[in-house]
């Protein structure tokens, strides 16, 4: 075995390392762009959800009022039926 042989038979040169670093840089840039896209989608969803919540809030009070009136009317009818 002379001095130029590697004990495991693998030699990685500067060119291979450089190529991998350049590839990683591209991967990181793509991930950054995907992250921005995800942020925009989340903001859009949050806006839509807040809109739905505000729309739902418009109907809560009227529905509660109608339910309360219907309950009072039903109780009044029950009392009238039992009394008379």
Alpha helices in 3-83 (DSSP H): 14-83
Question: In terms of pLDDT, which residue wins out, 28 or 10?
Answer: 28
pLDDT at 1 over 60: no
Residue 6 pLDDT = 61
Instruction: Please write the tens of the pLDDT for every residue from 29-80.
Output: 999 888 888 889 999 999 999 888 887 778 888 889 999 999 999 999 999 8
The residue written with tokens 């793509």 in the block is 30
Question: In terms of pLDDT, which residue wins out, 38 or 2?
Answer: 38
Instruction: Please write the tens of the pLDDT for every residue from 16-34.
Output: 999 999 999 999 999 988 8
DSSP 4: T
The whole-angstrom separation of Cα 42 and Cα 65 is 36
């Amino acid at each position: 075995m002379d001095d130029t042989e590697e004990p495991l038979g693998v030699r990685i040169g500067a060119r291979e390392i450089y190529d991998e670093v350049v590839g990683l840089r591209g991967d990181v840039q793509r991930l950054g762009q995907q992250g921005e896209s995800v942020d925009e989608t989340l903001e859009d969803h949050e806006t839509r959800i807040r809109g739905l919540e505000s729309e739902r809030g418009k109907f809560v009070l009227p529905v509660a009022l109608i339910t309360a009136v219907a309950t009072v009317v039903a109780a009044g009818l029950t009392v009238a039926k039992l009394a008379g």
